[in-house]
Structure 1
Amino acid sequence: MRRVSRRVAIPALAGAMALSLVQTPAAQARPRPIDKQPTATGYGGAVASLDPYASKAGLEILRRGGNAVDAAIATSAALGVTRPYDGSIGGGGFLVIYSAKTGKVTTIDTREAAPAAAKPDLFIDPSTGQPIPFTERRVSGLSIGVPGVVRGWERALDEFGKMPLRRVLEPATRLAEDGFIVDEQYQSRTASNLAILRDFTSSRDTFLTEDGQAPQVGTVFRNEELARTYKILAAKGASAFYKGDIAEAIADTVTDPPVVPGSTRNVRSGAMKASDLADYRALEKPPTEVGYRGVKVHGMSPPSSGGSTVGEALNILENFDLKNLPRGEALHRLIESSALSFADRNAYIGDDRYVDVPLTGLLSQGYGDERSKLIGPRSATKPVAAGNPWPYNGGGGKPRTGGAGDVDGSTTHLTTADRWGNVVAYTFTLEQISGSGIAVPGYGFLLNNELTDFSADPNDPANAPAAGKRPRSSMTPTIVTKDGRPLLATGSPGSAVIITSVLQVLVNHLDFGMSLPEAIAAPRLSNTNSATTTAEQGLVQSPEGDALRGLGHQFTQTGTLGNMTGVAFLRDGRLQAAAEPVRLGGGSAMVVHPADRR
């Protein structure tokens, strides 16, 4: 296969000035390193993402007169270049959008869909009758859902944007052509998936060096294949992704994965057809909504479990004066509310076009009040049982059971705002880091493994596979409004940890009085209805950690939980973009007109 991506080595010299000495072809602009800053405050618009090149792409669109939706699409396209293992046009996601014109929040569901040939026993090995091992499910055509990102771009721009797709793709297209300087995160993510990427000719040729290694930190990486794909979309529109050559190439990759000759990996074929792509639609839906401490919290409805789980937990916590409790006791209630809401999440949430989801009941304050009575002075034995929200949903359904939540996965999140007051919280993903690990030959992007978010159990009442169905997701893009105006927007990658990260940032800000940057930087914990609570070192080894152990909580220590970004609307009219200062190398926050104070 012809290699079309080019990498140029930069000598390992100190400082950004040394990086500028790299020799690149005269016809190409020289990529420059961009400093990361986790917080930016000012006017005119804001962008927060996991990568400075991507945030710069969004900022460029804002400066050219685009709005928050235009900037969000530009930022996401650039993340597909610099963070291709977390989210790209080979995956799907959810947009939550606040319109300053209408004063309302809406959402766009671009979750990947199972092909028409999918059946409930999708992940059952016909030779054994047992579930296929997860690693084999993941790296296969079986796991690949119909990508939704590009249809989502189209719908968001058509209904809420100011610019056409061709204009918002310009920064990302240049970035793919000119290249960017590889950082530690890009190198480590490539290295962690090296064995998979090497097993597919397309992935090897697109993402690895000539000798099959991960690009080194400080080198320049270009993806001319992806630049070509973006140019096709710019010229022909989103339909060029879902009909014609690209659609055929995606379907062929799923049904006949380009395995390197001699590989010993057992790669199962999927059954996607070009017609599955042609039939895909981005769905506009009302958001989930709950009241909390005088504000409204808007999230994503099913098949996302983020809006319902965060909403239920907040309704439970509404019964406790967290602000005036000792911090350890407040966090005890946070953990218990998370476990209770995750029990319901695992029992009831699925694609609501296929499953009767008692969403009204789950989000009712009455049900939250009922669940809050189960929180005692000490840690409950977990997993806790799911409740019965049906009486709060108009009746008619039967209680279900649910266990502990999943905790693995990789995603990316961005947040944008503009000078008119529009806001976007956008989370999109490939599922695992590098998704299925299989790139589409000639087009420069990896395909997702999102169908592994379905249950392998064909009898799962909420989340079994089915033709056209979208698997349950943990993505939790969130917008908070007060008196009809935006207060903040946020979200995170991290699979089920997304939900607990968003919940804790909201509690940090709304209950504990932290600024958004402080709320993001604070050490985090996560309980997805499991016997132990996962927590970062800063919390485990703190007075609050000691207090929680005294209340019967057990911890499993981890390096990091989540990778938040967000935008806050300050009382003096400024915008504050915020990202992680330290976790996973930190994120990138930018504003159009920086101003520390008025």
Structure 2
Amino acid sequence: MTRRLVATILLTAIGTVAIAKTPVATGTGGAVATISEKASQSALAILDRGGNAVDAAVAAAATLGVTDPFSCGIGGGGFMVVYLAKEKRVVTIDHRETAPAAFTPAVFLDNGKEMDFDTVVASGQSVGVPGTVRGWDEALRRYGTMSFAQVLAPAIEVAGKGFTVDANFSRLVDENTGKFSRFPATAALYLKDGKALQPGALVKNPGLARAYRTLAQGGVKAFYEGPMARAIVDAVNRPATTPGVTVRGGAMTLADLANYEARIRPPVRGTYRGYELYGMPLPGSGGVTVFAALNILEGWDLKSLPRAQAEHLYLEASRLAFADRNAYLADPEYVDAPVAGLLSKAYAAQRRKAIDASRAATGPVAAGDPYPFQQDASVPLRPAPAAKLQPESAHTTHLTVSDKDGNIVAYTFTIESWGGSGIVVPGYGFLLNNEMTDFEFSGPGPNVPEAGKRPRSSMAPTIALKDGKPAFTIGSPGGATIITTVLQTIVNHVDFGMRMDQAIDAPRLSERNGAATDIEPGFDTGAQAGALARHGHRWAAKPEEIGAANALVFNPDGTVTAVSEGHRHGIGSALVQKKAH
């Protein structure tokens, strides 16, 4: 049975009409790919009403905050990469969460020792100042055509009328029952009799509908000032918990919220086999790391090599790029990272020499020295080696939208762990992030906590051009595995010649300079794993699903193909305005 047939058999009810959910769609006009059918429909509705890609992206994101609340929402932050067709340029909107002003590098130390990671996650201490609403406002004011009231309308309807829980949603609640049960406002939304809501249950979120209506009426200030801001600060500093449960509070102030700013940043740029690639700059490490790995891989003609050797080289290039990422990258307003050196083709040629073309490294490798390639006399000192890295959550969401005029958005946003901190803001129905755990708990290193600092992120929304015209977009959730998912999908599509749906559906391998490579369930028993094992690769003991990618492909005949997941995360949703015949 084909991938598309399997997907279209799965039906999603829209009102009283059942419409087939498909992860691949080709047509003309606008296109959208998200992990949620209702989010994709929200984007398409805005496009059909004359909105552009930015308007539609915010509409989809707001709806994802309802249907996929455990991975994203207005309690978090994100990175948006926008291609402006008329101007033929790419801009990025950094609305990553920031550390409250009370933060110091010792905030996660207790008597000189690192605090327990999971305990910090489920607490007010882990919550960063949310940036999503400010980011949406910047996007709409600068590059959109519609108001908050217009783009939030579809999400308000979904939150008010409710949606049906599927097996994936129920599973995510079940995995987080312990965290959610600590906070009454969260338990009231997602638990019944202390257990996860079962598939088929109807979930309404009147609090989130209220929050969105407040934004529709009052704009961005209604989030960062006034009653909603006070509710956020209270939820962070004095979390309302179940009797007998104690969690740490944070130290967020109304001034932290009022002072929050998004950043409009120039994109980081790379090239690969005739493509121009645009991604998020720092504090996003995804773009730099993906492009650095591609620079290393460019030294081999991967398509002419045996598949196992080509994939071996992909894994080793990823290992080297991650070694450099961990050593050098962080918020550019706090750390002068050697990005130009890291993205130098000459530096890549030097790093390439560290790879044995037939044998995997036996464990983590050292970072390289990009400073001789930096060509920047203002960077006199090399930083100290990075400390041991904290675990990085694998839970985020990515969406991508284009419109009839050729504008494109690739957007990844998050609240960090599944369910973030676990704290729902009482009365407003949205979960708060635990993004501060993306900092290293102790130094030395570039990514230690500091007041106002944005923690390093792996999110990697990417737009590719060829011959000056859009070619494809790609992005994924998955914590640090975002980088390898984007990298591997590009290699699959560009080097191995896979259609984008094949490139996304292929088994994912994530090498992040560790002792073993992360894989997905069932991979280790197959021939592909055996061939790579002969090159010395070892697999992590606990296989898990990696990422939930979404992409657009701009075809030579003028059509666009929207592509979402064919089997991961309950299957994604791809829609186009006018289907190709």
Q: TM-score interval w.r.t. the shorter chain?
A: over 0.9
- The amino acid across from 1:280 in the alignment is Y
For structure 1, the 5+ residue unaligned runs are: 1-14, 21-28
Any unmatched runs of 5+ in structure 2? 1-8
State the shift of 1:33 in Å. 6.0
Give the match for residue 66 of structure 2: 81
Correspondence for 2:115: 132
Which of 13, 22, 29 does residue 37 from structure 1 map onto? 22
1:486-521 Cα distance to aligned partner (Å, 9 max, x none): 111111111011100000000011111111111101
Check the 8 A contact 1:490/1:502 in 2, yes or no: yes
DSSP-derived class of the 2:413 partner: strand
Q: Which runs of 4+ in 1 moved over 6 A?
A: none
Aligned ranges 1:502-521 → 2 under 5 Å: 502-521=486-505
Work out the number of aligned pairs and report it.
567
* Cα offset, 1:349, TM superposition: 0.7
What does residue range 191-340 of structure 1 map to in structure 2 within 5 Å? 191-209=174-192, 211-263=193-245, 266-340=246-320
Q: Give, in angstroms, the shift of residue 406 of structure 1.
A: 4.1
Secondary structure of 1:488's counterpart equals strand
Deviation at 1:339, TM superposition (A): 0.3
1:78 is paired with a residue whose SS is helix
- Who is 1:26 aligned against? none
- Partner in structure 1 of residue 370 of structure 2: 389
Output the CA distance in 2 between the equivalents of 1:508 and 1:145.
Answer: 36
Secondary structure of 1:526's aligned partner: coil
Q: Tell me the amino acid that sits aligned with residue 424 of structure 1.
A: V
Once residues 213 and 287 of structure 1 are traced to their aligned partners in structure 2, the CA distance between those partners, rounded to angstroms, is 44
- 1:239-262 deviations in Å (ceiling 9; x for gaps): 110011111110111110011222
State the shift of 1:88 in Å. Answer: 0.3
Aligned twin of 2:435: 450
1:537 CA displacement: 4.5
Which aligned pairs between 1:394-473 and structure 2 lie closer than 5 A?
394=375, 396-398=380-382, 400-402=384-386, 406-457=391-442, 459-473=443-457
Choose 395-404 or 343-352, whichever is displaced more: 395-404
Partner of 1:8: none
| Alpha-carbon shift at residue 595 of structure 1 (Å) | 1.2
Deviation at 1:43, TM superposition (A): 0.8
Q: Is the 8 A contact 2:10 2:21 kept in 1?
A: no
> In the alignment, is the contact (CA less than 8 A) between 2:51 and 2:145 conserved in 1?
yes
The answer to whether the aligner puts 1:379 opposite 2:345 as a matched pair is no
Q: CA deviation at 1:196?
A: 1.6
* Contact 2:394/2:547, CA 8 A, preserved across alignment: no
Label 1:407 to 1:256 Cα distance change in 2 as closer, same or farther (>3 A). Answer: closer
Deviations 1:518-539 (A, max 9, x none): 1101111010001211122464
Q: CA shift at 1:482, angstroms?
A: 1.1
Residue 159 of structure 1 aligns to which amino acid in structure 2?
R
With over 3 angstroms needed to count, the CA separation of the structure-2 counterparts of 1:197 and 1:31, relative to structure 1, is farther
Hey, what does 2:149 align to over in structure 1? 166
1:360 aligns with 2:345: no
Residue type of the alignment partner of 1:471? P
Alpha-carbon offset, residue 404 of structure 1: 6.5
1:7 aligns to what? none
Q: 2: CA distance between counterparts of 1:33 and 1:141?
A: 42
1:479-518 matched pairs, under 5 angstroms? 479-518=463-502
- The AA in structure 2 aligned to 1:100 is A
Q: Secondary structure at the match of 1:501?
A: helix
Residue identity opposite 2:424 in structure 1: A
CA distance in 1, matches of 2:16, 2:182: 30
Alignment correspondent of 1:59: 44
**SS of 1:413's equivalent?**
strand
Q: 1:40·1:576 contact (CA, 8 Å) conserved in 2?
A: yes
Q: Does the 8 Å CA contact 2:390/2:441 hold for their aligned counterparts?
A: no
Q: How many percent identity over aligned positions?
A: 49
Match of 1:4 in 2: none
Q: Distance in 1 between matches of 2:365 and 2:96?
A: 29
Q: Residue in 1 aligned with 2:5?
A: none
TM-score (ref. length: structure 2): 0.95
Q: Alpha-carbon deviation of 1:401? A: 2.8
- Is 1:551 the counterpart of 2:535? The answer is yes
The residue type equivalent to 1:363 in the other structure is L
The answer to whether the 8 A contact 2:385-2:444 is kept is no
Q: What is the CA–CA distance in structure 2 between the aligned matches of 1:537 and 1:346, rounded to whole Å?
A: 27
Alignment equivalent of 2:159, drawn from 173, 176, 196 = 176
Change (3 A) 1:593 1:388: same
Quick one: which amino acid aligns to residue 161 of structure 1?
Answer: G
Counterparts of 1:103 and 1:482, CA distance in 2: 12
